[in-house]
Structure 1
């Protein structure tokens, strides 16, 4: 990875206060006549939701710290499973590679859901490779924000489904510390240490996280470690600097290749080459923010972010069930070793230790700067809140693949030095984003028009790939896109503690590169033929806590895609034409303790999504890619439901038990038109049956105690179920129970 100098950007960050100071008098000339100390605690610099939630013209959900502590979710999957509209496919035990889909979007690697931490994107590369192999550990999280409506205009590039922002804990104003230890079945254990101190000058805080355990399949153990240093410096009453440094490491034996049908029937939890398969990842991040409180009605915040990720996977089985896209009907239902010194060795998986395979090391680097001005004004005599901002973003991506037949290739260093270098693809991205939004307050009404412009240049340089020869020159392709994305939302608050909202916005998701690229075809329609996804997203809904102890929400949504992107098999992505997503989301909570004014609070929470329409609208008959007008979209369950019954008491007790349900799902379209033998045996074709899982948790912190004790269990019935057929059959997680203690100093 070639490092680029950051000094120019850092200098730009430092000059922003001077520029803002020149504008301060224009924005609020009276501020100097009535100077007051600006309390920086009121500045929300990490949230994607505004202060006035009643004016938000779309659906949103917040999972706060209190709920996270009470429920003690095992992973991000359990943290979000009570949020309407969200489908999470769990193919690894700890959701290390999260698969989050919103409103029928394909959840594969969260490609169509914008993930952020404190407003900073979390993808490998947000534009060039929008896939997630990381999400913020919940130990560091203060709350989780989920936004699905027209409020997405301010963020990007993924705005077709929704956004999830992990808001991390703020630095303390005085000495604080906590330690937590947990242990459970499946050899699961972990710990978290948080220590920080602060004062009027600011603060500093250190987080250390460790998690390890066995995976869903045999020999799929994992371990992650993360260190995060966060600091805040209050330069004066108006200027604040916030900095965050992060380092993350993952070492796991998880293979992305699933099982064939015969292997699944014999042992659905086997991993034939798990002893050799590897997935290693390191992630380094830097986030800097400068906040200038121009006045009580104006704030200029400037964010600089940088992320460097290196991930490398080694696998010995490239396709499930011996499926070969170039040889229809070749599947047998049993895996085959990809590369061995002798071809005869490949059919006997006991030879895995003596055979080779393929490494896929990939390096990602991205950075950007984003100044944003938030201010209140009375233009035309109407009370308003406005946002104006700009972001410059750069990405450098390097994708490699090395292969060899012998066991020595199981060492990554050997593979990179002496292996067959089969892929070398370099992708450069420059993206400029401009956005503006204004909320007009007219009595009980809040009207919010907004616009975002994405100007993107993606250059792909294929140095080496499948079929390359020394005579073939390297190939390149430049893809330029400029998209104007308007949005408009309305919120009405004419009923006490109730908001009725409606909105529409234009969504956009840039095309991602093919996984395996043919060098000789890089300048033809064969490669990078996918157009960006564009959508029109409509919403109408209500949220209310009009009755004491009762809160609820209901949202009707309709999304229409112009060029949905789907997996066509063999690592290629194609446009599937038009598609339509329509449904209703319901969520609510009843606290009977508040209803009857008693400290014994029995409560019920529920979330339900009915995706009654999720279909292709392409004209024509069945073709090779399997797209048929009217067919259901892949991995878009019609029903998703979660219901929990709980009890809490001021003595510090919270206990709950619940059920999560996901209905039947369809697989990728290419798998629907496979050769009959491949369809029957590869593991790629067929339904994903419905399943229901029982979960429970208990948390107790005695009055006056600094210790919190908790136990949490997921899939308590130990149900065996199929989670996905992407790259073969993957079982869902077995019963997982863990307990722990947290002590606050």
Structure 2
């Protein structure tokens, strides 16, 4: 039950919009009575960044539609690799189960970075299981917003690292359609169809996406399909309804298990049980928005969202052996040598069907005002959010159990965990415009309750229930200065927050008739930064940011599937990015350009000795250096070509900073690697067709990418090309 003391905050939030709107209306009534009623949004409906980007008091990056079309990234991994501060561990070929880490944070399943589509979280379950098994297909994206600095009080949870928002394309104002086909090596192919129409009344648009191919490892084929219907209805000059319905399905043989050291040396791309392992994921979503433009200085938007995630995975390998250096089969019939992977077809395995459902409603007021005698933009709102999830596990020694239905009917029900979450979040933020300065204080309050019902654990009924609740205050303040033309100097500080995950609150291995809790505390951080972004010089842009993140109780993985608090930690570093267009500098249509980014996390360390951590040791999966450089050429005839390199320095993978590789493959360094990429896009002047070719890891470098559950290789050479035709 949400705590009663928060009702006072709710009353304040509900009262302020009405008061502020009334004041704003009075201020403009006389001077603007004859102006048009319809006004431009102060904050875009689906964006997490305001229109006045020069006033943003923190670091951010935008990958816009033009950049996406010229680069033609293979997946989200390539789309974000030019953004400073971002580290992506590409375990899968098409960015399935994406792993994104910000500023030295562990990238595993992007659990410390808030992923959103049009402002709505994309996780399996934002509070209970913030794992990223889905990201918006780039075919539907008009721009990607990456926010790392102050101003994150408007969104949550999972904001210790930052936020990434995929802004989808708006419905058209007239008829439009496009079709795209692509094909590449590794049996890769895909297509995208978009069709829509619109007018003064609004618009409607349908997207259909298909991608399929072979994964990084053998027998890791995949196929995804998605249908999205988006519509807008302009009820009158002030009221607009926006609706979006989506269905997504993934069928793949991609397994989370890695290889032992001996297996990896023999063939780093093998997947011993890939022909039997499977992953099925279905996602259904609904998003409804009502926008009421009160006047030309105020907008009230109310959003409802609903997401239903249903995933089921089957795997035959529990772990890799630290004595043989090979994978070990589990759930085999009596007499089958479990270490002999040729016997995989004779064994059963583990099915993990899981269901996640969440929904929420969020009214929000965006208003320009001068209540304090200073021109200001304010955002005030709250969100009510509910989650229900069910985690099951079935184990069976019969090879017929490779079918989920047979396993459920005849296997052992090892795990039955039910989790429900209730959350109220309140937020308020105000940007004061003080000449060349802006000041943006904000506050977010997260009030949540999690109820855990362990119906069954490790094959035995438990009947154990637990409740975990907390109220967290998350203040932030940032400032910017625009005293130099086309230049912003900014600084900010805010509190980050990642609630404890219920599946980590219970140590299932210790449950033997009696309830035992191994609770992890919430991760809370203090994030500070100071930086500059500028386009002062003709034809050039650059940015530089110095950042620091102090964790109170960072969560680390002690062993496979077991997480603990690792005490205090610190992340400090610098981010640099820039671009020079020589065509603009020298006023010529032949535009040679260079662009690049560099991240140096020179401090990423534990600050406290615990049973599992040593003060001064470097944090896992926190490379010191990440860099990308691209050289390109573009011309108004419609061509854009570029070639570039991506570099990631070596990484530790555990709190002990082990350097010697274990036979299991789970310990040891990840060496540095450098990848070569290129792309060419051509759209003839006056043509409706666009032709493109894109290649990644063109040198076909073999490199190690992860040791989480054994050794996993990065993707080999991938080249694809295609054509898009606009009607």
Give TM-score, length-normalised by structure 1.
0.93
Contact 2:144/2:165 (8 A) holds in 1? yes
Q: How many residues align?
A: 711
**Matches of residues 545-564 of structure 1 in structure 2 within 5 Å?**
545-564=535-554
* Residue matched to 1:227: 227
Q: Distance in 1 between matches of 2:124 and 2:519?
A: 22
Deviations, residues 709-731 of structure 1 (Å, cap 9, x unaligned): 00000000000000000100000
SS of the aligned residue for 1:733 comes to coil
The question of 1:567 aligning with 2:557 is answered yes
Contact 1:463/1:519 (8 A) holds in 2? no
* Residue matched to 2:677: 695
The question of 1:539 aligning with 2:521 is answered no
The question of 1:375 aligning with 2:363 is answered no
Instruction: Return the offset for 1:588.
Output: 0.2
Q: Distance in 1 between matches of 2:40 and 2:407?
A: 52
Q: Distance in 2 between matches of 1:580 and 1:367?
A: 34
* Residue matched to 2:205: 205
Distance 1:201 1:349, change over 3 A: same
* Residue matched to 1:646: 632
Distance 1:343 1:631, change over 3 A: farther
Q: Distance in 2 between matches of 1:195 and 1:43?
A: 27
SS of the aligned residue for 1:712 comes to strand
Instruction: Return the offset for 1:619.
Output: 2.9
Contact 1:467/1:520 (8 A) holds in 2? no
Instruction: Return the offset for 1:348.
Output: 1.4
* Residue matched to 1:8: none
**Matches of residues 185-264 of structure 1 in structure 2 within 5 Å?**
185-264=185-264
* Residue matched to 1:86: 86
Instruction: Return the offset for 1:101.
Output: 0.2
**Matches of residues 455-466 of structure 1 in structure 2 within 5 Å?**
455-466=447-458
Q: Distance in 1 between matches of 2:348 and 2:207?
A: 39
SS of the aligned residue for 2:194 comes to strand
Q: Distance in 2 between matches of 1:52 and 1:216?
A: 42
**Matches of residues 614-629 of structure 1 in structure 2 within 5 Å?**
614-619=604-609, 623=611, 625=612, 627-629=613-615
* Residue matched to 1:76: 76
Distance 1:22 1:434, change over 3 A: closer
* Residue matched to 1:657: 643
Q: Distance in 1 between matches of 2:263 and 2:47?
A: 46
Q: Distance in 1 between matches of 2:512 and 2:229?
A: 43
SS of the aligned residue for 1:345 comes to coil
SS of the aligned residue for 1:28 comes to helix
Give TM-score, length-normalised by structure 2.
0.95
Instruction: Return the offset for 1:527.
Output: 2.9
Distance 1:375 1:408, change over 3 A: same
Q: Distance in 1 between matches of 2:546 and 2:184?
A: 40
SS of the aligned residue for 1:209 comes to strand
Q: Distance in 1 between matches of 2:233 and 2:471?
A: 38
Contact 1:241/1:290 (8 A) holds in 2? yes
Instruction: Return the offset for 1:570.
Output: 3.5
Alignment gaps of 5+ in structure 2: 1-12
* Residue matched to 1:501: 490
* Residue matched to 1:437: 429
* Residue matched to 1:348: 340
Q: Distance in 2 between matches of 1:23 and 1:88?
A: 43
Alignment gaps of 5+ in structure 1: 1-15, 324-330
Decide which of 687, 695, 698 is 1:716's aligned counterpart: 698
Contact 2:507/2:516 (8 A) holds in 1? no
Decide which of 468, 474, 493 is 1:485's aligned counterpart: 474
Contact 1:643/1:658 (8 A) holds in 2? yes
Q: Distance in 1 between matches of 2:514 and 2:331?
A: 30
SS of the aligned residue for 2:327 comes to coil
The question of 1:729 aligning with 2:718 is answered no
Decide which of 383, 386, 401 is 1:394's aligned counterpart: 386
The question of 1:421 aligning with 2:413 is answered yes
Q: Distance in 1 between matches of 2:655 and 2:340?
A: 31
Instruction: Return the offset for 1:87.
Output: 0.2
The question of 1:336 aligning with 2:328 is answered yes
The question of 1:610 aligning with 2:632 is answered no
